[in-house]
Structure 1
């Protein structure tokens, strides 16, 4: 992925349903390194494991949500693959989750954790990137000129209006 801006207006080249997974941690007590450091260091191991194309994770972006919040957005090709990864005892997530739960009980609230999962049906998302490098969903799926999917957001959204 290049950090060089791509001239003009582009949109994500995503097709089909997309699962968006937000996950983050908040350091509630900075000096309680034993509580938050293992949480912080577990994620790179999982991301490395998920870099396998068969995992279902299309891409991710790490963001800062303030001085004490680390925030990760992941794009998946299906919620089934996300759930399967989370439940697989042979992958990094299960042991990290078990260890995290132990530390949460012992840590007296020194670290916070959250996640949100959104299953977005095909036609229910749209994007535009103007003079930007590939970013967000566009970085996960690649981009294409806006005109191929419609010049306006309303054209790119193909919501099922049947009730």
Structure 2
């Protein structure tokens, strides 16, 4: 893990949702070089293609090497962009996937491949990096002081939820949404704020009593 450490406690910038995509391969038969080497070489081509076009939605990657297992952790803007790239007929992924299927049928299980996709909505993740070089989602999105999103993990997890609630809360002088069933909404008509009980006739719906104003 290279790079210069960033002093202090930091967290990943941004509060939008993120898609985590893990993809990897396993060499089951080392001698079957023709089966697993093309699979190994295909991933760098795809990463290069995505890095040259940020609009495709890849935020960042982290390679996870191993003895037999080789995998890459990827951060994406959205599942829609991830799926769009996977199905792009003109991109590197489709021909690499078709070539793997051909070699898998002929190679007798010489190489394995896998992936996992996690769609993480806003407010459902938190990060912290103490005296670390840019890493993980912090490297993909940039770093900000941890205090901007809360000193504790519980605060950082709830920060976006509270922000969305405030943003979506209707104004008191501008109610939103349909009225409750059975309620009358015209101002000044003596309506009740809640529907009547089942089987009962609301005085509001029936109108004011004769000989006087409606009850309050």
Q: Which TM-score applies when normalising by structure 1?
A: 0.94
User: Equivalent residues in 2 for 1:1-163 (5 A)?
Assistant: 3-51=3-51, 52-64=53-65, 66-158=66-158
Aligned residues: 160
1:19-44: per-residue Cα shift (whole Å, max 9, x none)? 00000001111111111100000011
Give me the whole-angstrom Cα distance separating, in 1, the residues matched to 2:30 and 2:128: 38
- More RCO (CA 8 Å, sep 6+): 1
Q: What displacement does 1:53 show? A: 1.2
1:75-101: per-residue Cα shift (whole Å, max 9, x none)? 000000000000010000000000001
Q: What displacement does 1:14 show? A: 2.8
The runs of at least 4 aligned residues of structure 1 exceeding 4 Å deviation read none
- Runs (5+) with no aligned partner, structure 1: none
Give me the whole-angstrom Cα distance separating, in 1, the residues matched to 2:79 and 2:111: 27
The secondary structure found in structure 1 opposite 2:14 is coil
Give me the whole-angstrom Cα distance separating, in 1, the residues matched to 2:116 and 2:14: 21
The secondary structure found in structure 1 opposite 2:127 is coil
1:72-128: per-residue Cα shift (whole Å, max 9, x none)? 000000000000000010000000000001111111111111000000000101011
Which structure is larger by alpha-carbon Rg, 1 or 2?
Answer: 2
Q: Which has the higher strand share?
A: 1
RMSD of aligned alpha carbons: 1.6
- Runs (5+) with no aligned partner, structure 2: 163-216
The secondary structure found in structure 2 opposite 1:96 is helix
Give me the whole-angstrom Cα distance separating, in 2, the residues matched to 1:15 and 1:46: 27
Give me the whole-angstrom Cα distance separating, in 2, the residues matched to 1:29 and 1:139: 35
